[in-house]
Structures are given as C-alpha cells and as structure tokens.
Amino acid sequence: MKAYKCTTQAEKDFLKTYDASQFERPSVTADIVILTLDSSDELNILLIKRGGFPYKDYWAIPGGFLEAGKESIDEAAARELRTETNIDNVYLKQLYTFGNPNRDPRTTVVSVAYTALVPKHKLDIKAGDDASDAKLFRIKYDVNGMIFSNEEETITEDELAFDHEEIIKMAITRLRNRIDYEDDAFNLLRDKNEFTISELKRIHETIKNRTLDLPNFRKTFLRDYVATGKVIDLNKTMVAKGKPARLYKYIER
Amino acid sequence: MKAYKCTTQAEKDFLKTYDASQFERPSVTADIVILTLDSSDELNILLIKRGGFPYKDYWAIPGGFLEAGKESIDEAAARELRTETNIDNVYLKQLYTFGNPNRDPRTTVVSVAYTALVPKHKLDIKAGDDASDAKLFRIKYDVNGMIFSNEEETITEDELAFDHEEIIKMAITRLRNRIDYEDDAFNLLRDKNEFTISELKRIHETIKNRTLDLPNFRKTFLRDYVATGKVIDLNKTMVAKGKPARLYKYIER
DNA sequence: GACATTAATGGTAAAAAGTACCATAATAAA
DNA sequence: TTTATTATGGTACTTTTTACCATTAATGTC
C-alpha cells in the first residue's frame, strides 16, 4: 500500500488534534475456520471449548481481538492461528465479515472470519488463553444439518457458540464452490511437494461429498495443472498397494 | 440469528462488569463501490471529492463510520448508500474487509467494502457531510490500469484516496467472475421488470469487456433463466429500430 | 411502394468439455 | 501362481460451448 503524506500544515494540525473517540467503536476480532482432513479423508474442524463468558463451555471456532495499531487483520488471524495450532505459512484467506450488533452479548463485535486449510500432521493443537480445551471434530451431515463429532463427544450445529454455525457453513460452501477453479485443495495434501493423483482426488471427493472417476480426474489434472506448469511431474513413483503411483509437485505462485 | 440467553448469575455479573475498553479498538467503516452503466453502456463509478482531511480534495469512494450498537455493518452500508444517492432497495453486497493498519493516517480504520449495482436513472447524487462534490466517472483502462473520467476531469487509479484503487479493482474483478453464474447483471438493467435480451447482453459485454454473440447469448438465457422460471416472458414486444424485441421480467427470490 | 438497413429470432454444425466405462500394467497379499 | 488392488492409458458417448447462417419484422430512404 502506498504511504500517506501530509502536504499542508493545516492537515498536520488536524491529525494532531483528531479525536479518535468521536464515534463509538466496535471490537473487531479475527475468527478462523481451521479445516483439515483426517486419515480416513474426512473433513475435520478445530473447535475450542470456551473458558469464559459469554458462551462459557460452548464449543466455538478460535478467534481473537484485533490489536488495533499493532497489526493488520490478516496478521491478527495469522497470530491467532499460530497460538492455537503452532503453525505458520499455511493457506489462510479471508472469508466474510460478520457485523450483526447482537451476535455478542458483551458489546458490538465485528468478526472478520478466515478459512485456514491445514494438513493434519502439521497441527499441534493447544488450548489458548480463553479456551479450556481444543479438539478436532469430524464434520458429518444429517437432516438437521452439520454434526461435529470425535471419540469423546458429538454436538449439533445449533449447539455452537455465537453465530459460528453460519460462519462454518459459509466456509465449507465457499470451499466447495472454489475447488473446481482455484488451487485450494493442494493445501490439504499431506505434502504438496510430493503427492499422487489419487491423494488429490480423495480431497476433491471429500469436499464435493461425492465420488469421482479416477481416469477422468487424472485427465483433467494433466490438462489443467501439469500441462500448464502449475504442477510438475517428479518422474518418481510411490509404491503402496497396487500399481506404483507417479508423484507430482505443486508449484506455488 | 439466534438470541443469546444468560444462564447463570455468574454470567450476568460478568456481563454487567465487562470492561469493553480493555482492547484498543479500531474504527470501522462501510465503504461502497457504487457501479452503474451510462447511456452508452459504459461502466461508471460514483466518486466523492473529500471535503476534509485526510486526503482532502482527493476523489474517493463514499463511506461512513459504523455506529456501533445502533446498526449492523450491512445497515451502515445501506445508510451510507442512501445518504449519498437517495436510493434504497438495490443490490448491495459485502465485498471484502480491508484492515491494513496504515491505510488511514488518523487511526486504525477497518473498512468493510460493499458493492452496489444501480440503474443510472435511479441515482440522485448528493455530496454528503464529508464530501465537497460527488460525481459519476467512466471507468476505462490503459497500460497503467484504470482511468476515471467525465466531462470535467480525468484521474488515474493511483490518484485516488486511501487504498480505494485496490477496493475498486476487487469489486470489478469479483463482478466479472460472478456474472456467469450469479444474477448480478439484472440489477444494472434500466428496468428489471421489463427488459430485452439485447439490453441484458450489453450489460454482460460491458462487464466482461468483450462482445458476445446474440443468438448464443439468447440460447443460454432461455435455457438458464426462462426455462428455470427465474425470468418470465411477458409476451409483449418493444418496437425500436429493427425487428421488435420480446420483453422479459426478472423474478426476485 | 420498392429497397436497403437494422436488429431479433430460430436454426445448424463444428469444437470442446464432461462423463461413463473398459483394458492393461504393476505391485502386494493369499 | 493366483487374486486383489490400484494406477494408467484408452475409447465412445453426451453435453456444452462456440461460430456462423437464414429468416423475420420493423424503420428509413429514394
């Protein structure tokens, strides 16, 4: 961004005496929908159990207040992701801003929501300051919407804190809409520097929630990614159960 | 959104004594990219000339501070649109939130940007409180990017206030990406209750910045909109120069 | 009124993309 | 050695997109 330069003395005086408190200000938070895939290629989300009021003991997505003046919103989101999961340099993109005045009973809170896509082995989950617990939940669906579950517990979408149900729904919908023309899926790979076509296909299947035909998936992968140079063929194979699979590397741009 | 209910006395006490000022809060604004098409079907944007510091006398997109507690961000955007153009009930959708700490020299300002699409004849442009002037500018492109011009003046994209160049670019790009699968274009029609296929085609051409084949455009329009009931055939024609054109009505959902 | 001009409408045909499905290859497990 | 499994390399069919042509119904000009 270009830097702003004062040009006149009048302006310098104005800025010096500007009363920043003339408008009542809302609190601003960066909230993050952290998504990953487990070993069965099921979509998982990181939820924290709130340690304080409001919504004490409710499960919520992690988030934190923007420290105005010290950081940008993007940086606040990255900081929150780091404190909660100990990871850095992963897919983290702004999703939407939620500004309903009643969404938080304390005061007006404007939340800028982000989506993070993380390979599961990179996650090092910690409960942050304001959380008594933090866990991954499998996301499943039934007639009433999303169900979040793991070995210990199961919660339904309407049992989440604040309007986090709405935020999560938007994150998943957005991801599903973007997957055919954006490179998002690569960020969920175990290792985007060395992966097979089948691994990538399973990610697409999870996000689209339907099975795909491997030969056809392969064809479009070769056309849209390998032929265009977005992905390079490593000329190596990986042996597993059936015929060895060729390995590819995603090129970040 | 679901309403929050206090469940315990401890929680009630907490909320009563909650100190809302424990974090330094940013100002939050709703800024609007107001787009319309002129009589030559060229894309126009409403810019205001700033009447006060910072960026006094620079052209900018209209915006206003969120009155926390009184309104949602969506409402703040609608209010700003109303004060600036005297219109209501038009396409107004959240675009992106800009939160770089240096974007405003006064204090940390988080701006939630919106895109408004308006038929030109509905616009009743007024310079608001903080503007000395408000005008429509044609958006054109050259090697250095966007050029905004009207009868009186011409400015280049880097001459705009704040980071508004970036916001406008994102609004146009988003519009262009959405136009093939969202109904956005209908909101730029002179009258979405009575329009011809050619009128809609010209809007698509402007936004995509290339010419389209009318017979093919008609075919997909009939398949995607008329056959699905999103648009109904009024069984009337409008006589102009050539063969009379059939009139259609867009059904809001 | 005949004729050129204009723009809408109703087509066809080729090209591209998407989908279904088959055959074979290379490995591990039985 | 056989069977199961998974990757790879195809073909064929369907659908969608794109290019382009012909006709129709109005206006404007001579």
Kindly give the confidence (pLDDT) of every residue in chain B, 253 residues in length, as a single tens digit, with 9 standing for 90 and above: 555 555 566 555 544 554 445 567 899 999 999 999 999 999 999 999 998 878 999 999 999 999 988 899 999 999 999 998 999 999 999 999 999 988 887 778 999 999 999 999 998 877 766 777 899 999 999 999 999 999 999 999 999 999 999 999 999 999 999 999 999 999 999 999 999 999 999 999 999 999 999 999 999 999 999 999 999 999 999 988 899 999 999 999 8
Q: CB B163 to CB A1 under 8 A?
A: yes
Other residues' Cβ atoms within 10 Å of the Cβ of residue B124: 9
Computed over its alpha carbons, how large is the radius of gyration of chain A?
Answer: 22
Q: Does A1 touch chain B (CB under 8 A)?
A: yes
Using a 7 A cutoff on CB, list residues near strand D.
A 196-198, 214-216, 218-219, 237, 240-246; B 213, 215-216, 219-220, 237, 239, 241-244
Q: Does A54 touch chain B (CB under 8 A)?
A: yes
pLDDT at B16: 52
pLDDT tens digit string along A190-211?
999 999 999 999 999 999 999 9
CA distance B193 to A71: 47
- Residue burial B48-73, b: 16+ Cβ < 10 Å; e: rest: bbbeebbbbebbbbbbbbbbbeebbb
Q: What is the pTM for the complete model shown?
A: 0.92
Cβ–Cβ of B68/A108 closer than 8 Å? yes
pLDDT of residue B95: 98
Closest C-alpha to B184, from B22, B20, B35: B35
Tell me which DSSP letter residue B184 carries.
G
pLDDT of residue B53: 79
> What is the predicted pLDDT for the residue at A102?
86
Contact (CB<8Å) A28/B24? no
Q: Give the three-class secondary structure for A153.
A: coil
Question: In what helix (H) or strand (E) does residue A210 lie, and over which residues does it extend?
Answer: none
- Please give the structure tokens belonging to residue B31: 């800024």
Give the residue ranges of chain A where pLDDT is below 70.
Answer: 1-23, 128-129
Q: What is the percentage of chain A residues whose pLDDT exceeds 70?
A: 90
Query: Tell me, what's the pLDDT at A171?
Result: 98
